[in-house]
Amino acid sequence: MNYYIGVDLGGTKIAAGITDESGKILIKDSVPTLAEREADEIVKDMAKLCLSLAERMNLTMKDIRYVGVATPGIANQNRGTVDYSCNLPMVNYPLVQRLQNFLGIKKVLIENDANAAALGETICGAAQNCNNSVMITLGTGVGGGCIINRKVYSGFNFCGPELGHIVIEHDGVPCSCGRKGCWESYSSATALIRMTKEKLLLTKDTIMWEMTGNDINKVSGKTAFTASKQGDKAGQEVVDKYIGYLASGIVSVINIFQPEVLSIGGGVSGEGDYLLKPLMKIVDKEEYARDSTARTKIKIAQLGNDAGIIGAAMLGI
């Protein structure tokens, strides 16, 4: 059996797993990132986690074909560097070389975390057996990964495809990237929370006040959806507004890439059909290829938090 290590480096935690050649996770674990530290200290903990997993399986680094790392930001595969990451202290940081040194292993591969997750879903998730697919992740922001001919597409400079930063509202809500009206400013979990708070400030006639104990700071990405399921008008209005913006971006992504499958991951995707069914009604009306016999299937991503680990482990397959 061949063994591969996939590491999902996040701003909050470092998750890693050992997989076989099919992407099946044989063992996994995680440790806190503690992102306020120096980059080398973070990567040392990545290495310790990898070594610990190998030891628990009675393996050494000689038994590992390679280590793949999914990292936020720009993963420059030519240079082996993280050129920039807004969530980690890494600017032109030689991640490949450092991890090679700390692990004593020759082959280390890197990829953007959203792209790696999309690859994971292609290998053994919602887009399995598809040649061309897109995955979006609805979390703090809106992440996006694109797979073309079963390979990650990241542009000539490894910066793509930042789908969350396509503009869907000219001169709209300011985005952390410096633009206004970006998709993630309307379709992330963060945006959903903002919309819910805005609705609460406009009305007292909603069970969402009771749900949050009259504390607007306790609003979460689930608040409006939970209220709407109970017939709450204000909650339903928030959900409808949110799904409308989500559909606007998804239609644009489908029109550009025409993937076989577009999968949706992240916390908001946990709403399942309650999110998917109204979303599909809008997409069916607005998608350019709506009358085609071959159309993109929209699915909920299947791998959850394991997508990054699996995608990273499969980077060299």
Map tokens 């399921």 to a residue.
Answer: 229
Q: What pLDDT shows up at residue 212?
A: 96
The tally of domains found in the chain comes to: 2
pLDDT tens for each residue of 166-181:
999 999 999 988 899 9
Residue 170 DSSP one-character state: T
Residue that wins the pLDDT comparison between 11 and 315: 315
Q: What pLDDT shows up at residue 177?
A: 86
pLDDT above 70 coverage of the chain, percent? 100
Are 137 and 158 in a shared domain?
yes
Average pLDDT, the chain: 96
Q: Report d(CA 88, CA 150) in Å as an integer.
A: 29
Report yes or no: 263 and 121 within 8 Å, Cβ to Cβ: yes
β 3-9/64-71 pair status: parallel
The C-alpha angle with vertex 28 and arms to 67 and 151, in degrees rounded to 5, equals 45
Are 245 and 157 in a shared domain?
yes
208: confidence class by pLDDT, cuts 50, 70, 90: very high
Q: What pLDDT shows up at residue 203?
A: 94
φ, ψ (nearest 5 deg) of residue 2: -95, 140
Q: What is the pTM of this model?
A: 0.90
pLDDT tens for each residue of 59-109:
999 999 999 999 999 999 999 999 998 778 999 999 999 999 999 999 999
Are 81 and 143 in a shared domain?
no
Q: What pLDDT shows up at residue 11?
A: 86
Structure tokens at 286: 């607005």
Are 161 and 278 in a shared domain?
yes
Are 139 and 260 in a shared domain?
yes
Query: With b meaning 16 or more CB within 10 Å and e meaning fewer, what string describes 270-306?
Result: ebeeebbebbbebbeeebeeeeeeeebebbebbbeeb
CA 27 to chain centre: 22
Are 206 and 96 in a shared domain?
no
Q: Report d(CA 7, CA 127) in Å as an integer.
A: 21
pLDDT above 80 for 189: yes
Q: Report d(CA 213, CA 165) in Å as an integer.
A: 34
Residue 143: give the domain boundaries: 129-301
Report yes or no: 313 and 107 within 8 Å, Cβ to Cβ: no
Q: What pLDDT shows up at residue 176?
A: 84
Q: What pLDDT shows up at residue 183?
A: 96
Q: Mean pLDDT throughout 138-144?
A: 89
Q: What pLDDT shows up at residue 140?
A: 84
φ, ψ (nearest 5 deg) of residue 7: -120, 130
Q: Report d(CA 297, CA 213) in Å as an integer.
A: 40
pLDDT tens for each residue of 239-277:
999 999 999 999 999 999 999 999 999 989 999 999 999
Please give the biggest Cα pair distance in the chain: 64
Task: Kindly report the CATH number assigned to the domain that includes residue 253.
Answer: 3.30.420.40
